[in-house]
Structure 1
């Protein structure tokens, strides 16, 4: 298997006149988790990591694989050994060559118990040979199934055949890191002035919770085909403030506030846009030992899921083209059609009636109302959805849910430590295959924050890794989720943005929304 050749730089049409100032400025909701490829765990951080670092493979504007540091790859007959050939002109920002050994070091580091990365499980998910044992500390890092044959040849051995493995190496966890820089600076290695990266940009400024700046890396192998000189990310917690700043010309891109897309589409045609994204939005029950006993009752979980009127949320609260969700996996996933669940077939009145019956059977009613706490990370949109859900439950079922919002990093820690009862969740696919979503509900997943455990789900997901056509297995997993309801699917994402008309080549056709500043350009107005 060979990767198709492609230019890394964004194609600029002949009739386009470029702006003199090639600065792209966009809004982030929260401070990113990290720009360390081995540690980053959120969308905002991953956007930055894709600019600062480059992995073996990248994606084009439609989500197709294109060469990154690797010019091409080959697989053996059963897809258990992948060999990547690296370009010989890839350099770090300090001028050092990027070698296969840099990838070996980065992957071993991501798997190491010492780093304890929140994304450590991704190495195991990739089915890299001995990944599980290395992560647990039962085998040394050197036993991980990745080795440098020479400086430009990287060989990866898998414990199971994964035909979609090349898609997985577009994810930040698999990007190389500069060993000497990490050893010299420790945890401060990602700070401006210290960081050495191999992507199209270098980090030149970072003011936590305010702004970060990345500027062109002259050592990048394809710098000649890069147009954007500087990308600025501004942290703006209030989406309405962000919209005001966009309309004032301070931003090139921002998310449209919940419910405002229809109006803005009329007022700013071509600037207000909506397109499918490979992400889901849900609430997860804490089913761990520390979770409330009431949520151990599947009747309670089902009742709450049934009583959520998703149409009101998608059409009235959000109004941005988001599809209602009755499965965990979005329909936008390649080669997968989510099954139509029993809940999806019912009218909302029927769902409400069943919810009342189930909650009554579980022992809750007017004289014994169900009570619990639910948390979400600070955002006006998340608040509106949470308020709508609690009002639906209160009016239909007499449920008393207490809301609490948290700053992003505190929220991640609270949810990850199972210090919650019901918590907002969202996931954007790390690659375009159903397992990127369903593996979150594997009992061993590092992001199974609700600690749902189901042996049948684990078994089906394990079978899927060995199957040439896993669609029927994924369907069975979705059916179990619909029966057990460890999570409440709410909707599947759309990219609902205000996008300045002078931004060229934004990848609306890439459902993963893996965008790279090097592929963009600013048009003269």
Structure 2
């Protein structure tokens, strides 16, 4: 599927007739998120004299968000993306389109001729919210915390894991994080002086600067973190360096940000306050009710909301679309029943998916034929998995299930009810004659059960989505990395042994990782081992064309394992108040920066 097809698919999704969709009616309630009248924008300070021409009106951005237990950018949670929106600022930030980097805390940088060393020059007026200068040592201390072993895994993909993206490729970082070395001097991060930070990479890394915009690379005020190790994120303690700082945080309720008085670029900070209502269970569904009650200014849209708002001439004007860096997938569950340990069974289920049909019932989705997003530069269609019902039926018959007869019921473990899952169930029933069902559980239960070995009578997949920078190192090296694929390829009994080693507190980090590596080497599939070799070669080559070719081959091999089955690529839809200016939606999970945004006064 080429770029023009994807573009046409996206356009047709926006224009899709709602007559074939289920009508959705939301009763707009009188309850509010921010107070009795549902509009805290004025906060008692505005008057009927406020107009668009009045530069003195108070600019309060009102948002709703999934609940944020933490905002530590070094831990994989939704909170790390909130931090990246404007609470903390890294050495570099993404440009308005999200296609390149722009100066952040670093006003300039140079790369050595061999492509192995980056030297960042921190601006003289970079400061923390308490007035302390931002220094190169702040970054070095922060990264030492990031790379200090805890779980012992490089993380970057699982909720609660260390957020460092291995494809950033900083010299010695993975070894230090995994306990392979305790000598910090072997890690390629060094404060040369107060304003100069030097970072070395293992090999020339074309995506390095963009990788430095990931939340994991944001700096922390380490004096505060060390003084208040348990509660440094709380409003009374936190010190940040972004354009906004945390002023108030009521657990499970709300958060309020105000401008950082010491931020280096105050001319581009226009908002006086950002009020965030924290919603248990996410921002979809009923979250549009406060938007239509004029209680929030920006809200992410769920499928039903998109359909309904596109059919309303007035609300349709509020819809904004960001090309996303996310995809929907099915990940193989381990089970005492070895059915899905057969690659041909998994292949049949992947080939039997009608992704075009699934996308038609998912307004923000388009058929996702690979685990690499189609917007990645140099995307190669040869890696794609496409529908082939006849081949799927042949594979099932060969395995003893002609026309699906006798095939066990497939479970789709999911943390919420959605049309994607139901469409997958229907697709397999129609195409392959097999039975499937959605097993919807609470998100906490999902996190626990997706890693467990299921009983003999339970086989299937868990449903999820992933997001990351759209480049080859991230899409192949970090998101569903070679190690992830090796682990998913382990037989159920070996996976049980693997988890026991992971949980063995008597082992040192180095000992544990050595044992885990030995298990993968002995029991992981041949294809997953070859995948790891290809990615390692790609990360070590200095030739851009050769690197891309190796990543494409690795991506193709990963798809052929069918351990993680791609389903959809997803755009992100937002409803945005017309008074919002300076909002630049980017293909990143944080979607936009608060900096540069402003709110025009509404005419009275």
2:571 to 494, 499, 507: 494
For structure 1, which segment, 291-300 or 246-255, has the greater mean C-alpha deviation from structure 2 after superposition?
291-300
- Cα 1:202–1:275 shift into 2, 3 Å: closer
2: CA distance, partners of 1:401 / 1:297:
18
For structure 1, which segment, 417-426 or 459-468, has the greater mean C-alpha deviation from structure 2 after superposition?
417-426
1:356: how far off? 2.5
2: CA distance, partners of 1:364 / 1:167:
48
Q: Corresponding residue for 2:121?
A: 85
Q: Corresponding residue for 1:423?
A: 462
Q: Is 1:482 paired with 2:521? A: no
Q: Is 1:385 paired with 2:427? A: no
Structure possessing the higher radius of gyration over alpha carbons = 2
> Unaligned stretches of 5+ in structure 2?
1-51, 157-161, 491-523
Q: Corresponding residue for 1:45?
A: 80
- Cα 1:50–1:254 shift into 2, 3 Å: closer
Report 1:247-326 matches (<5 A).
Answer: 247-267=292-312, 268-286=315-333, 292-315=337-360, 317-320=361-364, 322-326=365-369
Q: Corresponding residue for 2:171?
A: 129
1:204-227 deviation digits (Å, cap 9, x = unpaired): 233344332222211222234201
1:311: how far off? 1.8
1:124: how far off? 3.7
Q: Corresponding residue for 2:498?
A: none
1: CA distance, partners of 2:395 / 2:56:
61
Q: Is 1:97 paired with 2:133? A: yes
- Cα 1:114–1:299 shift into 2, 3 Å: closer
1:436-495 deviation digits (Å, cap 9, x = unpaired): 111223333599777785122112212222242233222212322332212111111112
Report 1:237-256 matches (<5 A).
Answer: 237=281, 239-256=284-301
1:279-301 deviation digits (Å, cap 9, x = unpaired): 211111136xx675221111221
Q: Corresponding residue for 2:582?
A: 505
Tell me if structure 2 keeps the 8 A contact 1:61–1:505. no
Q: Corresponding residue for 2:483?
A: 444
Q: Is 1:464 paired with 2:538? A: yes
Tell me if structure 1 keeps the 8 A contact 2:69–2:252. no
1:413: how far off? 5.1
Report 1:198-209 matches (<5 A).
Answer: 198-209=241-252
1: CA distance, partners of 2:54 / 2:552:
49
1:199: how far off? 1.2
1:172: how far off? 1.2
1:35: how far off? 0.9
Q: Corresponding residue for 1:181?
A: 224
Give TM-score scaled by structure 2 length.
Answer: 0.75
1:511: how far off? 5.6
1:341: how far off? 5.0
Q: Corresponding residue for 1:358?
A: 395
CA RMSD of aligned residues (A): 2.8
Q: Corresponding residue for 1:8?
A: none
Question: Which secondary structure state, in structure 2, belongs to the residue aligned with residue 122 of structure 1?
Answer: coil
Tell me if structure 2 keeps the 8 A contact 1:31–1:209. yes
Report 1:402-421 matches (<5 A).
Answer: 402-408=437-443, 411-412=446-447, 414-415=449-450, 421=460
1: CA distance, partners of 2:428 / 2:108:
53
Q: Corresponding residue for 1:515?
A: 592
2:60 to 8, 12, 23: 23
Give TM-score scaled by structure 1 length.
Answer: 0.86
Question: Which secondary structure state, in structure 1, belongs to the residue aligned with residue 290 of structure 2?
Answer: helix
Tell me if structure 1 keeps the 8 A contact 2:413–2:463. yes
1:432: how far off? 3.7
> Unaligned stretches of 5+ in structure 1?
1-14
1:16: how far off? 7.4
1: CA distance, partners of 2:95 / 2:263:
18
1:47-80 deviation digits (Å, cap 9, x = unpaired): 3343211110011211231111111111111211
Report 1:75-224 matches (<5 A).
Answer: 75-114=111-150, 118-119=155-156, 120=162, 122=164, 124-140=166-182, 142=184, 143-224=186-267
2: CA distance, partners of 1:193 / 1:326:
47
